[in-house]
Amino acid sequence: MESVDLEVLKSSARWLDEGHRALLVTVVKTWGSSPRPEGAMLAVRDDGLVIGSVSGGCIEDDLIDRVRRLGIEQQRPEAVKYGITAEEAHRFGLPCGGTIQLVLEPLTKASGIRGLLDAVQAGRLVARTLDMATGAASLGPAQATDGVDFDEKRLLTIHGPRYRMLVIGAGQLSRYLCNIAVGLDYQVTVCDPREEYTEEWDLRGTTIVRTMPDDTVLDMKLDERCAVIALTHDPKLDDLALMEALKTPAFYVGALGSRRNNAARRERLKEFDLSEAELARLHGPVGIYIGSRTPPEIAVSILAEVTAAKNGVSLPMILQVEGAKAAREMAAGGGSACEV
């Protein structure tokens, strides 16, 4: 699985190599409710083939129809708006009051899409500056906190992984979780010093390291755009990562395990001089409660909780594994004696 942005860039570069014309469409401003954020992209080929998304589908349909009827004759980028009136909002499927501004960019060699694709595939975070008057684009360094900037004369967009994820353990669950995380545009590092798990690790888009988890946490210099998920079930590995990760600004730190194991883990972590506030940051049992039992389902559960944390959404206790299971047991009139 690949991120949407990467799919758009790959297709755009390939279409140009094959001799097609292509139109790159970027969301640059939104007002009111909008189905897609600023920076979202799609590409339309000269025959109407499309990849990516800038709305719920109706604006895409309009752009495809435009390309099929008129072709891609424009030479320079242009800015257009959708949803200015109530009639347009209804026509294009925008939420009530929503307005979206797009930049339509006819791609040429001066667009530098191949260079941008190479940078993103190399795991670099880059800023692309598009000159609206000439259609020429240039690349430069970017910060994870940078955003889209459009002033009618130039468009600056940020490409590449803005968020990092450290996964402790290279087992089967980690494979499913990392595969989805790459699609969510995380730069994923998997740490596992056990050769029997890392020898066959070959998941594209991830980096495998065999150092000790606590050293890995320190080496990565985790910031507020980082998530750490411990999945080995081995306290010698998970606890090492958690004791350091909980001291960092990482927006999410979680560990796999039952409620009983999670309570025991918290007691062990107290021995590492972690404060109550730091221990309170630990998500465990990790994930939201969806009745998941298989590794793919558990991966979805975990990443749903990570996504909520990234987006600043506070989940009610009933959605968390501990709260949901406790509520079920209370409704059933007793506790579970076999949980491990």
**263-274 confidence digits (pLDDT tens):** 899 999 988 888
- For 308: left if phi > 0, alpha if psi spans -120 to 50, otherwise beta; the answer is alpha
Q: Quick one: average pLDDT of 190-210? A: 93
Q: Is residue 192 part of a domain?
A: yes
Which CA distances in Å does 133 have to 39, 126, 130?
20, 22, 9
Chain segment 241-251, per-residue pLDDT in tens:
999 999 999 99
Q: Quick one: average pLDDT of 233-238? A: 92
88 and 177 housed in the same domain? no
Does position 293 have pLDDT exceeding 50, yes or no? yes
Q: Quick one: average pLDDT of 311-315? A: 88
Does position 111 have pLDDT exceeding 70, yes or no? yes
Burial class (CB in 10 A: 0-12, 13-18, 19+), 123: exposed
Q: Quick one: average pLDDT of 186-213? A: 93
Q: Is the pTM of this model over 0.75?
A: no
Q: Quick one: average pLDDT of 99-108? A: 94
Averaged pLDDT score across all residues of the chain: 89
The residues with which 78 forms a beta bridge, in sequence order, are 104
Q: Looking at residue 178, what is its pLDDT?
A: 97
Q: Is residue 157 part of a domain?
A: no
Query: pLDDT > 90: what percent of the chain?
Result: 64
173 and 322 housed in the same domain? yes
Does position 284 have pLDDT exceeding 50, yes or no? yes
85 and 169 housed in the same domain? no
- Give the residue from 112, 133, 152 where a domain finishes: 112
Does position 152 have pLDDT exceeding 50, yes or no? yes
225 and 87 housed in the same domain? no
Q: Is residue 275 part of a domain?
A: yes
97 and 198 housed in the same domain? no
Structure tokens at 180: 């989805």
**Structure confidence at residue 337 as a pLDDT band (50, 70, 90):** very low
- Give the residue from 80, 112, 144 where a domain finishes: 112
Q: Is residue 133 part of a domain?
A: no
Which CA distances in Å does 70 have to 46, 62, 65, 327, 338?
9, 12, 8, 59, 67
Strand order in the sheet with 22-31: 50-52, 41-45, 22-31, 99-106, 78-82
Q: Any residues with CB less than 8 A from the CB of 90 and at least 6 apart, and which?
A: none
81 and 179 housed in the same domain? no
The span from the CA of 25 to the CA of 194, in Å, is 45
Q: Quick one: average pLDDT of 156-179? A: 94
Q: Looking at residue 93, what is its pLDDT?
A: 61
Q: Quick one: average pLDDT of 58-63? A: 88
The candidate with the shortest Cα–Cα distance to 135, out of 160, 116, 107, is 107
Domain holding 93, by residue range, is: 4-112
The span from the CA of 133 to the CA of 107, in Å, is 14
Q: Is residue 168 part of a domain?
A: yes
Domain count, the chain: 2
Q: Looking at residue 37, what is its pLDDT?
A: 86
**Structure confidence at residue 336 as a pLDDT band (50, 70, 90):** very low
Does position 62 have pLDDT exceeding 60, yes or no? yes
Q: Is residue 50 part of a domain?
A: yes
Q: Quick one: average pLDDT of 29-46? A: 86
Neighbours of 86 (CB within 10 A): 11
Does position 55 have pLDDT exceeding 90, yes or no? no
Does position 72 have pLDDT exceeding 80, yes or no? yes
171 and 243 housed in the same domain? yes
Q: Annotate 304-331 with DSSP letters as a single string.
A: HHHHHHHTT----GGGBHHHHHHHHHHH
The span from the CA of 9 to the CA of 323, in Å, is 42
- Give the residue from 112, 146, 180 where a domain finishes: 112
Structure tokens at 101: 């501004």
211 and 290 housed in the same domain? yes
Strand order in the sheet with 282-283: 206-209, 186-191, 163-168, 226-230, 252-255, 282-283
Does position 338 have pLDDT exceeding 60, yes or no? no
Question: What's the per-residue H, E or C state across 234-284?
Answer: CHHHHHHHHHHHCCCCCCEEEECCCHHHHHHHHHHHHCCCCCHHHHHCEEC
Cβ proximity of 272 and 214 under 8 Å: no
179 and 316 housed in the same domain? yes
Q: Looking at residue 97, what is its pLDDT?
A: 57
Q: Looking at residue 174, what is its pLDDT?
A: 97
The residues with which 227 forms a beta bridge, in sequence order, are 165, 252
Q: Looking at residue 74, what is its pLDDT?
A: 87
191 and 71 housed in the same domain? no
Does position 303 have pLDDT exceeding 70, yes or no? yes
The span from the CA of 22 to the CA of 34, in Å, is 25
69 and 179 housed in the same domain? no
Does position 50 have pLDDT exceeding 50, yes or no? yes
Query: Which amino acid appears at position 152 of this protein?
Result: E
Q: Is residue 89 part of a domain?
A: yes
Q: Is residue 121 part of a domain?
A: no
Out of 30-44, 84-98, 271-285, which region has the weakest mean confidence (pLDDT)? 84-98
102 and 211 housed in the same domain? no
Q: Looking at residue 185, what is its pLDDT?
A: 86
The span from the CA of 69 to the CA of 46, in Å, is 10
